Amino acid sequence: MAAGSNAPVGVFDSGVGGLTVAREIMRQLPEERMVYFGDTARLPYGTKSKNTVIRFSRQIVRFLMTKEVKAIVIACNTATACALEEIQRELPIPVIGVIDAAARVAGSVTKNNRVGVVGTTATIESGMYEKALRQYNEKAEVYGKACPLLVSLAEEGWLHDTITEEVVSRYLKDLQYKSVDTLILGCTHYPLLRSTFRKIAGEDVTLVNPAYEVAMELGELLGREGLSCRGDVGRAGEKYEFFVSDAAEKFCDFANTILPYDIGAVQQIDIEDFETEDLREGETCRRM
* Residues in contact with ligand DGL by the rule CB under 6 A: 13-15, 17, 43-46, 76-78, 119-120, 123, 151, 187-189
CA distance 109 to 276: 41
Nearer to ligand DGL, 102 or 151 (CB): 151
By C-beta, is 151 or 229 nearer to ligand DGL? 151
The values of phi and psi at residue 250, to 5°, are -65, -40
- Closest residue to ligand DGL in the complex (CB): 46
Q: Name which of 124 and 142 has its Cβ closer to ligand DGL.
A: 124
- Range list of β-strands (E), 147-260: 182-186, 206-208, 240-244
Strand partners, 242: 36, 266
* CB atoms near residue 2 (< 10 Å): 9
Minimum Å gap between C-beta 195 and ligand DGL is 19
> Shortest gap between Cβ of 181 and ligand DGL (angstroms)?
23
Which residues touch 220 (CB under 8 Å, ≥6 apart)?
none
**Would you name the residues annotated as active-site residues?**
76, 187
Min CB(99)–ligand DGL separation in Å: 10
Rounded to a whole number of angstroms, the minimum distance from the CB of residue 123 to ligand DGL is 5
CB-nearer residue toward ligand DGL: 123 or 182: 123
Cα separation, 78 vs 97, whole angstroms: 10
